[in-house]
Chains A and B, each alone.
Chain A
């Protein structure tokens, strides 16, 4: 038995101590309430955001790429519906069984099968695994037939790039393929819109206009659980299609160009001499860009890459060729403009001339005899041009060449592979080769050999600017709004020409002195329009008069009649021994054969189109390149009416 005293003392102690604990409890509870308050009231926004971030996932859908149209509105790069087979591994009960069945049904070979398994192991189980990017209709129906046995496999309809004209537009449009690490790194736009399997432009206009073409992603918002599994779709936003881009190119002419250059390495460019619109631009050989859509297979790639005719190079823009005799109209014009010669200047061609201890040969061993400007141009007499080049000097020749667009990019920054070429002068040689200019180099520059390098498109622009009477044009391949019609441009050109004739126009001279004339649209590129006329007549003679270098390729019907200039550009120096052998083209190894060139414009009476043709190692301009022009001109002129009608319709629409 406890004493009463002890009990009282113990009770006092316990109550006192309980009171202390009770006070401590109040403090602790207050602390917990404060913590609850800070989490739920003070920081509520922060945690609410975090909670939404946890549960909401956005799925970006691939954007639909803008299309390319030709001048007549035909789709030349479109989007095709494709049947794909998707699997979300997480939703498949027996993935192995499914894959084995699919392998059977789709006839996958082992390496394809392993590639899919590797891909599956790389991604998260809830991410869509693309088993096949492009099922054939046959495969698609087969999969649907066996669908009950393929739990988790989803045949879906998707869109993919499609080039309906296969290899006809490859070098203009380029091609698209799956975005690489580098694409993501270099282009913010691609990075921000990237989804697995997104295809982006790799070359050509597809690459240049990537940011306009790409479109915007559609967005699906899902509520997901902690494991990332989609629970429900909250909303869906459609993406916007990329911008449609229309080209100035005519598919029919483009197709013919492709055909004419079949099995040859070379290029054709066709241009409207007033509007600067590129009507056709073909580089040969080409390849089918559709091959790249779903990843090109190794065999096809090797075939393209190892082709000695170099299909991957866009020869129209990046091919650098000595212009050969096609430069002669510019040499002649430069000499006339600088008052070195007049139309009656004559030279006696003996087949070669000796100068400063060197022998310079004319292409015709026997010589042309006494020739004036017109007959020298007609027969492409080298001796005549050696002589006038010597008198003119390379620096004045360069001035004229630059005026007509040589040595500069024709389309600016539209193609990243376009080259500037090279128009040499004395200063250039000193700065770049460290040696003084030799007069002999002037002579060979006068017949388009030596250092001079031009692209086929530059030659085409040069021809166009000669054909329109010597006025500047602005080449373009994209159809823009508010473009001037050929008539508007002709009117501006006439005005510019008149201003020259009326020398008494003081205001004009004053503004020219102040440098305003430089900014004038479609400015004249000549001092005297008579000189242009002479050069054009000489080019006409070259094609349409007996003994002209391209006489055999002439068309007599005035509707199609064109004027042109052949060119044969040496790939290597002709040795004395070779000159004496005088071999036929077919007897020379392919790599050593001359390039065949031809420039032309027509119809001669009222010119509208200019073209340039280059056939690599084609032998001579008159035998290989000029006949192509003959076939091409008929179609170009026949298509003209339709082109004009389309232009009017477009103008009305705008």
Chain B
């Protein structure tokens, strides 16, 4: 198969017709909601965060549409390259990256500070999807096959966890594991490794940074240190809880406006939204995410190629993880780990990675009848 044949099967208008418009609408809706929320975090003015967020959304949305016009074979072809490139960037970041607030996870690309770990969330899915695409089902549980899959998974996790960035590494791990699970690895291995994880937990905790330990302790009891480590979660719960059924109204969230909420444009953007829009608004937002996940999984279901199917299922599940980990965290159901809410949270790399993911999914939709050798 020739590289130039990737894009030859459908005309431009056919492709345009074959875009998933429901998914597209939901993404645009999320973009709109996130822009309005960002406007609210700026105190009802268009300042740095809202400007930057809106422009990033528009750029990366356009990019997504462009990516979706590439044949799914292209992504299959370049999946390893993509993975290795991002892995190199992670190494680069750990050697020459920008240090900020205690961790080293950014690369200065002059127009954007790139966070390769965010891109790894997509690359790991693509890479493992390609890897399993070729494996015969009776060999999936072979030691050698499993070992390579584990190496693919563990390498980036190790790099990210040493940045240190616990939240992202957990999300990479979850994304990778779900692909391995979907590929059909025997359930007993999951059970074994879960038991092993439980046993190694006390040792793992010994390796955690003091701030990470305190986050876990704080999660178990937020009142332990209400002005220190527990402050974020207490204030976040107050903000969400005080929103009530209908919310305090757009631009009227006192918790965020009066700066009680920490990190309100990034990880805690949902808190601000829930405070201003209330239970009904939050349900609405959750519904949009559910539709997005459903559409992505649906595309996986109709895809004929195994790679596309695995990627879509994997990515749909990954979005589910992003959304639930973030929401559980701000609602006090999980300890605070850095994890953005896709599209809603401020942050270029996260937006870029999310949009690449959606681009591949869209491409899978357009080319769902395409088989990959």
For A31, the closest partner residue in chain B by CB is: B333
Known: A18-B313, A51-B238. A10 touches B184 (CB 8 A): yes
Q: Does B240 lie within 8 Å of A14, measured CB to CB?
A: no
Q: Does B317 lie within 8 Å of A32, measured CB to CB?
A: no
Q: In the docked arrangement, what's the CA distance between A51 and B258, Å? A: 11
How many Å from the CB of A229 to the closest CB on chain B? 9
Known: A40-B241, A44-B242, A54-B238. A14 touches B184 (CB 8 A): yes
Assign chain B's interface to a size class: 35 or more
Q: In the docked arrangement, what's the CA distance between A487 and B135, Å? A: 122
Q: Does B258 lie within 8 Å of A226, measured CB to CB?
A: yes
Which single member of A1, A25, A40, A226 contacts B282 (CB below 8 Å)? A40
Q: Does A39 lie within 8 Å of B331, measured CB to CB?
A: yes
Q: Report B-chain residues with C-beta under 8 Å of the C-beta of A507.
A: none
Scan residues 244-268 of chain B and give those whose CB is less than 8 A from a CB of chain A.
Answer: 244-245, 254-255, 258-260
Chain A interface main SS type? helix
Scan residues 268-320 of chain B and give those whose CB is less than 8 A from a CB of chain A.
Answer: 274, 278-279, 282-283, 286, 290, 293, 297, 300-301, 306, 309-310, 313, 317, 320
Q: Does B306 lie within 8 Å of A36, measured CB to CB?
A: no
Q: Does A39 lie within 8 Å of B241, measured CB to CB?
A: yes
- Whether B30 is near chain A, meaning CB under 8 Å from some CB there, is no
- Whether B137 is near chain A, meaning CB under 8 Å from some CB there, is yes
Q: Does B254 lie within 8 Å of A2, measured CB to CB?
A: no
Q: Does A46 lie within 8 Å of B178, measured CB to CB?
A: no
- Whether B351 is near chain A, meaning CB under 8 Å from some CB there, is no
For A224, the closest partner residue in chain B by CB is: B258
Q: In the docked arrangement, what's the CA distance between A2 and B328, Å? A: 42
- Whether B109 is near chain A, meaning CB under 8 Å from some CB there, is no
Q: Does A1 lie within 8 Å of B373, measured CB to CB?
A: yes
Which single member of A25, A44, A50, A55 contacts B258 (CB below 8 Å)? A55
For A227, the closest partner residue in chain B by CB is: B259
Scan residues 84-111 of chain A and give those whose CB is less than 8 A from a CB of chain B.
Answer: none
Q: Does A36 lie within 8 Å of B282, measured CB to CB?
A: yes
- Whether B200 is near chain A, meaning CB under 8 Å from some CB there, is no
For B301, the closest partner residue in chain A by CB is: A15
Q: Does B278 lie within 8 Å of A40, measured CB to CB?
A: yes
Q: Report A-chain residues with C-beta under 8 Å of the C-beta of B136.
A: 2, 6
Q: Report B-chain residues with C-beta under 8 Å of the C-beta of A149.
A: none
Q: Report A-chain residues with C-beta under 8 Å of the C-beta of B235.
A: 54
Q: Report B-chain residues with C-beta under 8 Å of the C-beta of A340.
A: none
Contact with A along B196-222 (1 / 0, CB 8 A): 000000000000000000000000000
- Whether A37 is near chain B, meaning CB under 8 Å from some CB there, is yes
Q: In the docked arrangement, what's the CA distance between A2 and B373, Å? A: 7
Scan residues 155-207 of chain B and give those whose CB is less than 8 A from a CB of chain A.
Answer: 178, 181-184
Q: Does B240 lie within 8 Å of A11, measured CB to CB?
A: no
Q: A28-B320, A29-B286, A51-B255 are in contact. List 7 more A-B contacts (CB 8 A).
A: A32-B328, A36-B240, A39-B237, A40-B243, A51-B241, A225-B258, A226-B258
Q: Which 10 A-B pairs rank lowest in CB-CB distance, beginning with the nearest?
A: A47-B241, A51-B242, A13-B184, A40-B279, A225-B258, A226-B259, A39-B241, A47-B242, A44-B244, A226-B260
The 21 listed contacts between A and B (C-beta, < 8 Å) are A2-B134, A10-B183, A10-B184, A14-B183, A14-B184, A18-B300, A21-B317, A28-B320, A29-B290, A35-B332, A39-B331, A40-B241, A40-B274, A40-B279, A44-B244, A47-B239, A48-B242, A51-B238, A51-B254, A54-B255, A55-B255
